[in-house]
Structures are given as structure tokens and as C-alpha cells.
Structure 1
Amino acid sequence: MLRKRLEPFLSRKRVAIAEACIIGLVSGLAAVLLKQGVEWLALWRMSSDLPLWLVLPALGLGGGWLSGWLVERLAPEASGSGIPQVKAVLGFAPVPLNLRVALVKLLSTLLALGSGLSLGRQGPTVQIGAGLAAQLSRWVPTSPEYRRQLISAGAAAGLAAGFNAPIAGVLFVVEELLQDFSGLTLGSAILASFIGAVVSRLLGGQGLNLPLDARSISLSLYDLPFFIVLGLLAGVLGALFRRGIFGSLRFFRQFKHLGLPGRIGLAGLVTGVVGVFVPVAATDNTGLQEFLVTGSAGWQLIAIAFATKFLLTLLAYGSGASGGIFAPSLVLGAALGGLVSVLAQGAYSGFGAWLPPDQLASTTTYALTGMGAFFSAVTGVPITAIVIVFEMTANFNLVLPLMIGSGIAYLIADRTNDGSIYNRLLAMHGIHIEPVGQANNPWADLKASDLMQGRVETLSSQMTLPEVVQAFSRSHHRGFPVLAKGRLVGIVTQSDLGEATAQGLDQYLTLADIMTPNPVSVTPEATLPRVLHLLNQLKISRLPVTEGQKLVGIITRADIIRAESDQVSGKLQKLGPQAEPSYVVLQQQGPAIGQGRLLVPLADPQTAPDLVKIAAALAKSFHYELECIHVRSVPRSVSPAEVRIDLQEVEPLRQLAATYADISGLSVHFQVRAAHEVGRTLLEVIKERHIDLVLMGWHHPSLTPGRVISGVVDTLIRQAPCQVLVVRPGRNLTFNHWLIPTAGGPNAQSAHRLLPGLLTLGQSPQIQLCTVCHPEKGQCLTPYHLSEMADHLEATLHRPVTTHVLTHPSVAEAVVDLAQQCHSDAILLGASRENLLSQVLKGNIPLEIALQTDLTIILLRQESTEIK
């Protein structure tokens, strides 16, 4: 009853308003802290008593190195502007975004910009705001879709606070990041942006706002040709600037041996040296922009400012420093506008000054128009560009020049640009995201009916408590809906039953006396955010789904977690009820005479003999029994127990198992199961049959996003509580020349036990051990683990073992090259339980090797004591 009364106060909109206010406040404070810190460091840098020729290079080198060190050691995701990382998170890519990233971004940006690097702080404030919002979504758990809305609100608040431009913050999120016009998304973003901008303006001052006299902004017919020229130049030079960004990133990749601190320190040193000889290069973005917009500089100084700012920004961004390109783009646009203004005045002066001076727009107008045009060409968001400059000036007379310049610049740049600059930056790091509109969002329009379990175990309200205890003991559920005359009247959990039993009242009460009456429920049309909101706010684990008072299903946290796991892992099954346990269709058992059991999943009669051959050799070496299983996958809409399986199709596999039982003398078991999920079924069998080793086939390398090898193989590598071997058969199944790459560790140790059995597959087998050293680490001597492993194998196998120490930047390429030189037949590799992000960052070495060679690949993942 209390839950029912609290529900109106926990409405989704009220919680969203509160969260948006908190996000805007915290993002605004962070932006103010960053702004004032950068300004204080810039003032201290330029007013030091020490000579500038010493201060500027030293601070550039030291501050850049320290900024890079913070990022490299604490949060590698905080490098660059931060906007691509936010877009990746909003596109459901597995990129970390949390409080740690936000704090590291704040400190590293403060150091980078304070040391003089030619970057802006507005891009970082987007990631800082989004990171703070992402952390809030973890403290107050919510649905994946609503988490995206919170992160987008944080990004909007960060940009709004950085520019004091709340409308631009919202537009940038809608135009570039989220592309979602839903009411809740816009409402959260607008509120967070407004509060962030207010906090920034009250505590941080006007910032980038330029209070100008309205009369200084003008437009006449004589200016139109030159505004068109300005748009054309901004489009061409903006596109060149974008290309320069990617060129600079590729250039700095050649200096990986310096590390991120070394690359950023180098960029800071060069910037400081240039600032000594070209003082305008050492001026911070805010001061330089105001200087250019006022029109007090000569064209020579403006040209120098444009060239140096252009090159130094590319240098700083390519190094990986924390900082954005928003502010530098505005400065470059202001300089370009100033140059076009000089051109316009000179052109009309050449006609005998027949044009009155007051008929031509001021340099300020040209500079502000150039800011919007260049920003539009670089970022590809013309609407945001127009609104940012408009909000900085609050002058309606500037809208038309901005629309002309920004529109032309965007059209010109768009013809040479290859999509969004942020998508291309992500692609350089191997992250490819699809458009994140509702049509591509896996959580869009997801309802309770899509995830609920239609088959619900229920209890009658008139049951006695001993009967209820028996019902709980027979079921794995921790709670049941309670019905009376076919209508939902309550819900009972184990805790409810435990309290009544502890008080000794179980002999006198019925279920109606201990159940929670009038439970909160949802309709089948309830959205996933609504379901998650109730589960989180009411601290419950299940919700009945009703039509009126009729119970039609139940939805639990486990159902939602499973659905999210299926989406992240790349599974294509339709979201729906939880998979049922598998059903045993056929089971034949041999005598239990082995010292353990080896499980072999068999699917294809053509490839099964190869797997059974390898499995039998290992089973004989270990004195194991051989457990062969065939799992037939069935749709989730049908119960596995209700599916008819044609055993004639499975007969070749059964005959194969029986043949090896006769040939090898092993005890061989065989079973056929129907199941919704193959991977989960194999885990069931591992537990039920006490499996010690799993050997399974892997025939086609998978390039499916979200998977490391393939769905079933990944499941067993990550979750199986026993040792797992995965075999990718090669062009011919000969096993005379073995290559074993090793870096030490548990997988290398487990190879000792497997090799005696595997070597029986060949005739006079030869063993090659190798380890790969990266050239950046200098000269690589024979590691201790390599020589120790070789000595141990020679003593155990009574045959020579050859060792190789390779130096190569790519482990996969080095192994493949050595395999070709040694004429290897099979490569034994270690497999890892690491998550997908680690595989993306470090490289999936087994998959890379499998794609580059047609030899037999055997992956070994040793037993985990943590799981058991």
C-alpha cells in the first residue's frame, strides 16, 4: 500500500527534472573551475618575472608531459577533445564514461591549456558534463535508454556552460550527438543547459560573450559578394583543417615510443618556442578572439595569427592532448573574417572610394560571420554554429550574415568531408557506430510485453503456509503472484514467508495473511524505462503484468539483464521470455571408469570426426571418459520439451561416438538435447556431468560486432568453470610441427599437461616455443619463462624443444611469419576471459592469427579457480 501511495511522487518526469537540475549545476561548476583555472595559469605564464624564452618552452614541455601522464595512467579515454568518446557511448559502444574520466579530463585539460597548447576547453566540458551525468545514472540505476538521455543532458550542459550558450548546447546534442527530438530528451537537455549556462555566467563571468554595440553589426548589398567569398574560403580552409587533424594524428602515431606524455610534451615545447618568436601565438583563445573581433589589428598581424593558430592547433590535437577544436575554430574564423574585411575595403577603395565608408559592414561583422562559417565547416553542425555566435552577441542583425557564411561554408566543406568528423575520429580507433536515432536503437519502443514471461507460476490466496513452503522448495523462483478467483490480489516473496515462519505462525495463517496486497503492476504496453523506474525506485525485483486485474505475465530484473546481454553480445534472437532449461531427447551412457570427463559438442557430421579424434587422444592421455553431445537449437516461442527431433539425422554422430568407443577402449557417453541457447546448455551439461575439459570446434572466424570469436565459443571461454580447448581445423590435420607462442602465465603452464596427448596425433612431432617482444622495449633477451618452459617440456616429453625470441610490433604477424618459416602444422595459443573493450584495445590475437593463416589453431583457456 505504501508503494502505491509513493508512486505518484516517483513519477518519471519529476525524477528527470531533479536529475537535470543536478547535472546542470555540477556541469556548470566544473566549467567555471576549468575556465578560471586556465585563465589564471595563462596570466601567470605571461606575467612571470622569468624571461619568456625560458618560461614558455619549459611550461609547454612540463605541463604537456604531466597532462599526458595523467591521461595515460588514470584514464586513456580522456585524451583528445572528448566529444568522440561521448558520441561513442551514446551509440552504445563500450567506452568508459564515469566520474574518474570526468575528473582526469578536468585536470589534464587544465594542465594542457594552462601550459599554452592551442586547444579549447569547450570540447572537454562536453565530456566532463557527460561523465558526471553517466556517474549519476550509476548511482541512481535506470534503463539504458534513459541513461543515454542523462548523458546527453550532461553533454549539453557542458557545452552551454563552456560558451554561456544554453540554446547551442541543446542544438549540438540534437544535431550531432543524439539526434533524438523526443520530449523527454529535449526537456532534460534544455533544463540542464539552462542551469549550466546560468551557473557559468554568474560565477565565471561573461566568458566568451562579446558585448558589442548593435550599430557595429550591419549588412548592405555591397557586402554580399564578400560574405559569399568568406563562406567559400571558410569552407575550403575548414575542410583543409579537418584533413590536417587526421594527418596530424597519423603523424604522431609514428612516435608511439614517446608515449602520450612525450608526444604532448613535444607539442607543448614547440608551441612555447613559437610563442617566443610570435607573441600572438602565446595569447589564449579568449584574448586573441576579442582582439581579432574588434578590428584593431592590421592585416599582416591577422594573417600571422591565422597561420600560427592553424598549425599549432593541428600540432596540439594530433599529439592527443586534452582539449577541443571549438575555440580554435572560432579564432581562425575571426581571423579569416578580418582578412576578408580588409579585402572588401581594399576592393572598394580601388574604385576611387566611391562607396561611403558607412555603407560597408565593419570588421567586427566580418569577423563574427567568419567565426560561424569556419566553425560550421570544421564541425559540420551549421545550425549550432549560427546559434553559438548569435548567443555570444545577442544581436539579431548578425543572423543573416551568419546564415550566408555558415551555409555556404558547410555546403563547400561537406562535398570534401567524409561524414561526421567525430565518426571518423572514432573509426581511427576501431570504433564504428551506426546512427543513434530511434530506428537503430535496440531499446526504442521496447515494452513490457516484449520481455515478460507469459508462463507464470502462481499461488492461491487460500493456500496454507506449509503448502507455500513446499511450493517455494520445488521452484527456483523467489516470489510468486497470488491469485484469488483468477484475479491478481497480491504477491509473496521468500522474505515474507521467512518472517511468518520465524514467528511460528505458519500453522495458523494462510497466504492471504502474509502476502503484499494490491501489488504495483504494469500493463503490457508499459515502456522499458517505466518498468525499470518502478523496479529501481520501489526496490523490487519483479513486476506483474496485468490487463485490468487479469495476470498476463511477469517481468523480472533477470529478464531485462538477459535482454541487454543479448544485445551487447551481438545475438540476433528476438527479445522475449527467458530461455527455458534444455530437454534431454536421447542419452546413452558408458561405464563410469574414468578419472574425469571430456566434453565434445558435435554439430556437423563432416567436421565431427576431426574433433572426436583430437578429443579421444586427450581423453586417453588423461584417462578421461568422453562425453559427446549434440544440441539442437529451437525457437524461444516453443518449449524444448515440445519439439520433435528426428533422431535419424543425428544417427551419424551417435555411430561416430560408438566407433571411437570400440577403437580407443574409452568409456564414451552420447546425448542429444533440445535447447533455446546452445552456450547455456553446454554450461548446464558441464555442471551436471562434472566436466573437467571441453573441446569444441571453431570453423569460421567471426567479424560480428560485439563478439570476440563466436557466440557459443565466447560463452564457454568466459563462463565455463573448467579448462576449454577450441580447435580451428587447418588445411590438413597433421600434427608433426607444433608452434607454441608464450608470454608466461597460467595458460602456458597448462600447455604442459595437454601436449603429451596432443603429440600422439603426429609422428615424431617437433616443438617450437616463441615469445614476441615489442621493438619499443629495446633489446629482448631470452625470457626466463621461455627457457624454463622449454626445459620442463624436454624433461617431460623426452624430445628437443627449440626456442625463438622475436622482435616485432605485431604479435600476430610475428607468429604467422615464424609458422611459415618453421613449416608448422598447428599453433597452440592462449585464450582470455577479457571483456570486449580489452579485446578491442589490445587486439584479438587469436582471431588475427586465424585470419592470416590456414594452419590448425588450438586455443587453450585454463581452468579458473575463481568460478569453481
Structure 2
Amino acid sequence: MSYLPIFQRFRQLLHLQRFRQVLQPRRRLAIFEACLIGLVSGLAAVLLKSGVGLLGAWRVQTSLLLPAWFVLPGIGLAFGFLAGWLVERVAPETSGSGIPQVKAVLARIPIALDLRVALVKLVGGILALGSGLALGREGPTVQVSAALASQLSQWFPTSPDHRRQLIAAGAGAGLAAAFNAPIAGVLFVVEELLQDFSEFTLGTAILASFIGAVVSRVLGGRSLDLNLTLTAPNTDFFVQDIPFYLLLGIVAGLMGALFNRGIITSLTFYRRSLRFGLPARVALAGLVSGVIVALLPLAFRDNTGLREILITGEASWSVAAIAFFSQFVLTLVAYGSGVPGGLFAPALTLGAALGYLVGMAEHSLFIPFGIASGLPITYALAGMGAFFTAVARVPITGIVIVFEMTTDFNLVLPLMIGSVTSYLVADKLVPGSLYDKLLEWNGIIIEKAAPPGGIMTNLTAKDVMQQQVETLDTQMPLDEVIQAFARSHHRGFPVVEDSKLVGIVTQSDLLNIRERNLPNDTALGEIMTAAPVTVTPIHTLSNVLYLLDRYQISRLPVVNGRKLIGIITRADIIRAEADHLNADDRTLKLRPEPSYVVYQTRSPSIGRGRLLVPVANPETAAILLQMAAAIARDRHYEIECIQVILVPRHSSPSETQVKTAKSRRLLRQAEVLAKKWQIPLHTQIRVTHDVAQAILETINEQHIDLILMGWKGNTSTPGRIFGTAVDTVIRQATCEVVLVKLGKTTNSPLPTAHFNSWLVPMAGGPNSQVAIKLLPALLTLGNQPQIRLTQVFKPSESQPNMTVLENSMRQLMRRYKLSKTILAVPIQADSVAQGVIKLVKTEGYDVVVLGASREGLLQHAIQGNIPEAIASGVESTVILVRSAINNKV
């Protein structure tokens, strides 16, 4: 048996895998796809232009050699029939302009848009437009390019949102290639198709449109529609022209609205009165168009040539008038039949004729008085933008298209005046986009105010990911990796090196490794899966779910650059969806309703600040209130005592009936203690969906200066450090936060508290100073309390720096008069948690006071949660202090 074919196949798969790994990061893949889309769109535009041009030139040449009344209708009849037959039999989706179909696909309407559609539109467009039907090739170019981009997104599978952006980029590239106007292509995507200004959408559209325009310009000439020579008269603009440009805008708006209604009427007439098949309808349109064109002057046999006559000032007013009315009728005749052709070119020709007529009218009025006036060609070019805007309802795109095709700055103001005026008039008379009305005529309605896509599009990976990630190091030996899997419930671990994600290892990898009989000291870096599939924090859940399904995996690392910041699993998405369903939030609001106060008592406000104490457990409430009273006496604070009642998310807190008897008994105990201590006490009971939310609302409403909360000491919630509510309070509360994990004795499993011996590890940060300031008040809870300040040093540090300890000791002795009870001694240990736990167990401290920042606490979730490790490792009371933060930061 020969292993050569198998080996070759393996090498092919390896090369393919490497190629996909190179392209996998979203930005690099998007750049590659945008460049490819621009290239194929430019080539498609050139091919369509060349095909229509060659067939059209042959038609015109033949009409000069043979009787035009026979040649033009005959060619229109024959080639129209072929185009209609091809469209009807192979791809009915290619009928008409093509832009409405693209818009429907972008609105997630199931309409085919693939290579088959692109090829049929290309060939059908050449046959129909080359036969003399008075439509344009810009719309077909847009659909062809969008179809090619859609096919590309199937060859390089990606998320649904990314696919929409690629299709829109293809449409923009098609328009840019058709007009040699890359900026207009981008604006058309933003203004008409997606209405999306995101960085990714703009980036792909800009790149694709630029490349498409470059390819079209290099291979197809300077412009598809305008070939102004250097000897053509220059445009001009005078202040006295402004009223006439306003008049041009009004007339263009009126005629544009009439044109749009005429398009719908023509379609309806063909469908209801001429019940033929598509080939017969297009053939009839070709026949009628040929007869009409044969009766017109020679210049009307070439639509592009006719437009050039108007914009170079060579036409008389009668030619311009005939051009407008004949083009108007011919367009309605052709488009209503369902021929694969667009409306951009007819709109430009109609606008040029209309503008030319207005310009000649002004010229005739001002010449007898010797007043300077604008040239008719300036009005012709401004009329192109105005009529295009009135038809397509994209004023910015209309202005930019004409400007980019002419690169004449004298046209900017005339274009702006005419286009904006025509847009306002046309939209007032016939509101809405023509493309939306064409879709509605076909029974497709795109909801403008459609609700968002739900939680899958409203939530991102950052909202749902687990921030506490268990990772493995690349140098970890194989036997330790196996032990890590044995100890954990996870089925995979990200592999990091210097906090950078370099790979991932799963249980499946271990099963494959076992068959290779690798030694136990094999480094993880040799067996992990390198360059894993990842997501960024801004990926929506729909994108995340797509990648999980696409690669048949159960977890995705979340990275910022290469730095690992979290992990998201299928379970996280299911949990988020379940929370959403439980909330029964039909308006897709992601936040629960505000909490509702059902009971409260108020005392005289005589304090300098307020201290908040949430109470929930009757067994710990008395001790927490005692600690709160000590702090309140020291700082002259009032106490706000809150009890929270949770209700299901499908119930409104303000409308749900709750029983408050137990809560009131608990608060009455607090009132008795406060009266005994002579401290002002306010109480309240809040009904809420979320404990943390109720606490944060109370902090803001009552202007709380410090919150004192109970804490279990550990949590089993994935991605949490202290627990769901406590984590949220630490991150978002602007006041000082004091967490208390009450100690336990071997004789009693219930929480107890002794306050005689205190251990305060110091790290030199601002929160350590907050802990120092809190000590004098808390020391009043004990009898002859003793304090030890300590700092943990690595065994490798032979001369520890005592500056922090000495400064803290002097501060306590000088400011708080505690000189007889303070001891400052450093300790050596491999880690802070190990050193503190060993010291507490050895010398039996009653209380450990820790200072930690909001950012530090969350960072410990990755590097080892020091506060949780200490709280879990000792039976003593642990107090965690976090300073107040500025909510504007």
C-alpha cells in the first residue's frame, strides 16, 4: 500500500489550515475580502460596459447601413426576447434594476444572490441594454457586484452580520466602478443600503469602492458616462443664478415624483393588461422602443452620446425638450416590462435635459438686459444631480456622483441647491424611496422601525463573557496538564504566555496525545492547538454563536489584540438567553426595572454623612450593625439600613404584592440598636429584580458616603470574584466600600466576631491608607486591641523596604494615638495569600483588614484572587476596604 497520496492529502490540508489561520483574524480577513470584492466588481463593471458598448455600436452601425425602421425594432424584439427568456428560465431575481433585490437581501429577506444571479444579470443586461432599451447599466452593475460578494462570503464562511457588510461593500464597489466615483459608492452604502456608520462597514466599503473604481478607470476609461474633453466650455456660477437653481430643484422634484409614480404604473400595466411571459413582455418593449427611436433624430440612438450632447452645450432647446420627453416615455416602456436594467442612467439623462432647458431659459431672459448668467451646461450637470436625487432619494450620493465624474468645484453649490430642493419637493409629494416602493409592489415590505434583533444582536461578548479565566502556561509539563483537567470541571483551557493567548488545549487534545505516547515532561506548547479561533469584546452573541457552530467548539477566548480578557461558552449564551426570556422583555430592554420602595422610616438628619448597611441574614445583622455604629460614631454619620426583597423578572417591582413582615422585624431590631447607640437610623424595604441594582439606586438617591456589606468569603458563580451583587457594587458604587466576612469558631458553625487582635497587611496603595483611617473606629469594638502591620516580601529580597510600614505606623501613632498597641513586622513568603494565611494560623489573629482597588480586585480573578484566598484560608473575620471612586472617571 502506498502512503504517498495520503501524505500529499495531509500536506494539502495543512497548507489550507495555515492559510485559514493567516486569514482568520477579523481585520486581516476583512481587508483581503474587501480587496477581492473591489477587484471582481471592477472587472464585472468593465465587462458589462464593454459588452453593452460593443452590441450597441453594432446596432447603431447596422441602423446606418439598413433601414432604421426595420433594424432597430427588429434588434429590440430579438435580443429583448433572449434577455427575457434567460432571466425567466435561469434567475428571475435578476429582473429589473437589481438594487431593490440587494436592499431586500441586506434586510434579511430570503432572495437569491449568488454567482448564478451575477452571471445571468451580466449576460441579460448586455443583451437588453445593447439592443437599445433605454435603461442604464449602473443598477445591474450594483447587483452583479453584490452577488459576487455574496458568493465570496459563502466560499469564505463568515458571520451573518459580516456577510451583510460584504454584500453592501460589493454594491458600493459596483456603483463606484460604474461611475468611477469611489466616494459615491461608499455614500450609497451608508445612505441607502445599510444606514450604518460603523468603522467596519465604512472600512470595507471604502476599500472595495476604491479598488473597484481604480480597476474600472484603468481598464474601462475615465468614466462610464461622462467624457468631457479639455476643450469643453468651463462651468460657472453667479449669485443671480440661485433663484433659477431653486427653480430647477422644484421642477426636478416634481418631475422626479411623477417619474417614480410612472414606474409603478408601468409595472402595474404590464402585469394586469399584458399577461404575457417575461420574454414576450421584454420583446414587446424592445419593439416599441425601436420604433420610437427610429422616428427620432440620429443622436437618440445612443443614450450616452445624447447625454454628452446635452452637457457639452451642443444641443438646441428643441433637442433638449425632445430628449426629456422621449427618454421619460422610453424608460417607462422598458422598465415596466421587467428588463434587467437600471434607472440611474435614465435619471441622469432626464436631469441633464431638464437642467439644460432651465439654463437656456435663464440665458434667454438675461441676455436682453446684459446680465451675466450661468452656462446651460452648468444647469445640465446640476440637473443630473437634482433629478437623480428626486428619483433615488439619496441627496448626498447624487451630489457626489456628479462632482466625482466632473471634478469641477464650480458645480458644488449648484448641485447642493438643486439636489436638496428636489429631494424636499419629491419626498413631500411621494414620500419614501423608489426602491422600497418597488419591493412593496412585489409584496416585500421592509420595516423601517423594525425592532432590534433581540439579545443576540444587542449583547456583545464583553457583556456575557466570564472574566475569571483559568489558564495554563506553555511551559507546563503534560502530567500537570492532566492534573489540571482532573481538578477542574472545564473541558478546555486557554494557553497563555506573558498574558498573551497563544493556544488552547481541550480534552480531545489529551485523548489524541495519549495515542502518541509522549513523555510526561512534554511542554504544553508542543501539544496545544495553536492560533485558536477567538472573538473580540465587540462581537455580538450572534457572531459568537455562529463561530461556535461553524467550528464545532464549545468555548471561545475573548481577546483584546492578543491579550486574553475572558472566555465565552455556549452555556454563557444560554444563560443570557434564559435571563432575557425570564424577563419577558418584549421591548428588548436589557436592564431590569427600577427598584420600588414599599416601606421606609426617616429620622432627623443631623449627621455629616451617611453609611448604608444592607441586611439580609438575621444571624449576622447585629454584628454588621454594631460595626456600622462604630464607624458612624467616629465619623458622625447617619445609618441607612436597607432590606431587599427579590421578585421574578416577569413581574414589575412596583406592581408586585410582597410580604414585608419578616423584613420589618429585622429592621426593628436595627432601630432598637440605633436608639441604644444614639445614632440616627433610616430604614427602607425595596422590591427589585436585582439586589445590586437596588443597592446602587439607594447609594445615588440617599447620597451614601460608605457602604458596609456582609460577604461569604467565596463564590461559586463563574466569572465572579466575590459574588454577583458584591462584584457589581465594587465596580460601580462611587462611595467607600467595606466588605465583612465574619469569622467562625470550631465550637460553632455560626458567624462570630472577636475584635481584639488585628492584622493589617500593607501594600502601599491608596486603599491601604483607607484601611488605616478605618481602624480607630473599628478598634472600639474590642477590649485592649492589638494591631500588627505587616508587609509580605519574597524570600529572594534580602533587605526588605520598610518605608510603607514605618509611615503607616507613624500615622497611626501621631493621628490616632495608638502607640501602645501597634507592631510593624514584615514577613517573607512566596505569595501574599500564603504569607497572610500562615501568619493568621500561627498567631491567631481575630481580624484581617485588606485594602484593594476596584481594578485590582478584578485583575486578581486572572492572577489568583488574593482576598478570596485569604478569606477562604482563615477562620478569622476578614474586612476588605475599597476607597471612594469618581463616577466620572
TM-score by length of 1: 0.57
Offset of 1:258 from its aligned partner? 1.1
- The structure 1 residue matched to 2:537, chosen from 516, 519, 525, is 525
Local SS of the residue matching 1:80: coil
How far residue 178 of structure 1 moved from its aligned partner, in angstroms, is 1.1
Structure 1 segment 569-648 matched on structure 2, within 5 A? none
Structure 2 distance, partners of 1:540, 1:574, is: 29
Give the equivalent residue in structure 2 for 1:208. 225
* Contact 1:260 1:320 (C-alpha < 8 Å) held by counterparts: yes
Structure-1 residue corresponding to 2:176: 160
Amino acid aligned to 1:266: L
Q: Cα 1:491–1:410, aligned 2, differ >3 Å: closer, same or farther?
A: closer
How do residues 163-312 of structure 1 correspond to structure 2 at under 5 angstroms?
163-206=179-222, 207-211=224-228, 216-255=234-273, 257-279=275-297, 282-312=300-330
Which of 390, 400, 420 is the equivalent residue of 1:377? Answer: 390
Give the counterpart of 1:541 among 547, 553, 567: 553
Equivalent residue for 2:52?
38
Checking the alignment, whether the CA contact within 8 Å between 2:545 and 2:570 is kept in structure 1 is no
CA distance in structure 2 between the partners assigned to 1:222 and 1:130 by the alignment: 44
- Tell whether the 8 Å contact from 1:423 to 1:432 is kept in structure 2 after alignment: yes
8 Å contact 2:98–2:139 — kept in the other structure?
yes
Instruction: Give the residue type in structure 2 aligned to 1:188.
Output: T
Deviations 1:586-622 (A, max 9, x none): xxxxxxxxxxxxxxxxxxxxxxxxxxxxxxxxxxxxx
Q: How far is 1:15 from its partner?
A: 2.1
- Given candidates 339, 349, 361, the residue that maps to 2:374 is 361
- How far 1:530 moved relative to its partner? 11
Match of 1:12 in 2: 26
Corresponding position: 1:132 with 2:148:
yes
What displacement does 1:522 show?
A: 5.4
Distance 2:393 2:83 in 1: 29
Tell me: CA distance 1:109–1:529, structure 2 relative to 1, closer, same or farther (3 Å): farther
Deviation digits for residues 369-388 of structure 1, max 9, x if unmatched? 11111111111111111111
Question: Are residues 73 and 546 of structure 1, via their aligned partners in 2, closer, same or farther at CA, if it must alter by over 3 Å?
Answer: closer
**Does structure 2 retain, via aligned residues, the 8 Å contact 1:61–1:269?**
yes
Equivalent in 60, 82, 86 of residue 70 of structure 1 = 86
Secondary structure of the 1:360 match is coil
Q: Does 1:339 align with 2:352?
A: no
1:109 paired to 2:125: yes
The residue type paired with residue 40 of structure 2 is V
**Residue 424 (structure 2) aligns with:** 411
Q: What is the Cα deviation at residue 441 of structure 1?
A: 8.6
Shift, 1:199, TM fit: 1.0
- Indicate the residue corresponding to 1:396 in structure 2: 409
Shift of 1:276: 1.6
- Is contact 1:24–1:191 with CA below 8 Å preserved after alignment? yes
Contact kept in structure 2, 1:280 and 1:305, CA below 8 Å: no
Q: Which amino acid aligns with 1:25?
A: L
Q: CA deviation at 1:11?
A: 3.5
SS at match of 2:256: helix
Q: CA deviation at 1:528?
A: 3.6
Change (3 A) 1:448 1:362: same
With over 3 angstroms needed to count, the CA separation of the structure-2 counterparts of 1:458 and 1:341, relative to structure 1, is closer
Deviates more, 1:541-550 or 1:19-28: 541-550
**Is the 1:4–1:520 Cα contact (8 Å) retained in structure 2?**
no
Distance 1:273 1:150, change over 3 A: same
Q: Which amino acid aligns with 1:333?
A: G
CA displacement 1:564-589 (0-9 Å, x = unmatched): xx99xxx979899xxxxxxxxxxxxx
1:46-71: CA deviations, max 9, x gaps? 11133222221111111111111111
Q: Distance in 2 between matches of 1:551 and 1:325?
A: 50
Q: Kindly state the Cα deviation for residue 194 of structure 1 after the two structures are TM-superposed.
A: 1.2
**Paired residue for 1:818?**
none
What is aligned with 2:35?
Answer: 21
By how many angstroms is 1:401 displaced? 1.2
Q: CA deviation at 1:498?
A: 5.2
CA 1:195/1:558 → structure 2, altered by over 3 Å: closer, same or farther?
A: farther
Deviation at 1:545, TM superposition (A): 4.4
Contact 2:467–2:565, Cα closer than 8 Å, also in 1? no
The answer to which of 333-342 and 37-46 deviates more is 333-342
How far is 1:7 from its partner? 7.0
Summarize deviations over 1:255-295 as a string: whole Å, max 9, x none.
56411111111111110111121245852321110011122
Which of 103, 106, 117 aligns to 1:87? It is 103
> Displacement, 1:216?
2.4
Structure 1 residue 342: deviation in Å? 2.5
Distance 1:160 1:343 in 2: 34
Partner of 1:428: 441
Structure 1: give runs of 5+ residues left out of the alignment: 577-634, 638-868
Aligned partner of residue 292 in structure 1, secondary structure: helix
Aligned-partner SS, 2:276: helix
Q: Distance in 1 between matches of 2:398 and 2:565?
A: 53
TM-score (structure 2 length as normaliser): 0.56
The Cα shift of 1:300 comes to: 1.8
| Counterpart-to-counterpart distance in 2, 1:77 and 1:115 | 21
Instruction: Report if aligned partners of 2:41, 2:177 keep a CA contact under 8 Å in 1.
Output: yes
What whole-Å deviation, never above 9, does each CA across 1:104-146 have from its counterpart, x for those lacking one? 1111111110111110001111111111111111111111111
| Deviations, residues 382-428 of structure 1 (Å, cap 9, x unaligned) | 11111111111111011111111112111111101221111111111
Evaluate the alpha carbon distance shift between residue 572 and residue 102 of structure 1 in structure 2; reply closer, same or farther with a 3 A threshold.
Answer: farther
CA distance in 2: counterparts of 1:441 and 1:385, whole angstroms: 35
CA distance in 1, matches of 2:492, 2:552: 13
Specify the code of the residue in structure 1 equivalent to 2:382: T
| Structure 2: gaps of 5 or more residues | 1-14, 591-647, 651-889
Q: Supply the AA of the counterpart residue of 1:71.
A: V
For the Cα contact (< 8 Å) 2:388–2:398, is it kept in 1? yes
Determine what percentage of the aligned residue pairs are the same residue. Answer: 52
Q: Matches of residues 676-691 of structure 1 in structure 2 within 5 Å?
A: none
User: How much does 1:499 deviate?
Assistant: 3.5
C-alpha RMSD of the superposition: 4.7
Give the number of aligned pairs.
Answer: 563
Distance 1:130 1:172 in 2: 13
Give the partner amino acid of 1:160: A
TM-aligned CA distance change 1:58 to 1:493, over 3 Å: farther
Question: In terms of Rg, which structure is larger?
Answer: 2
Q: Secondary structure at the match of 2:412?
A: helix
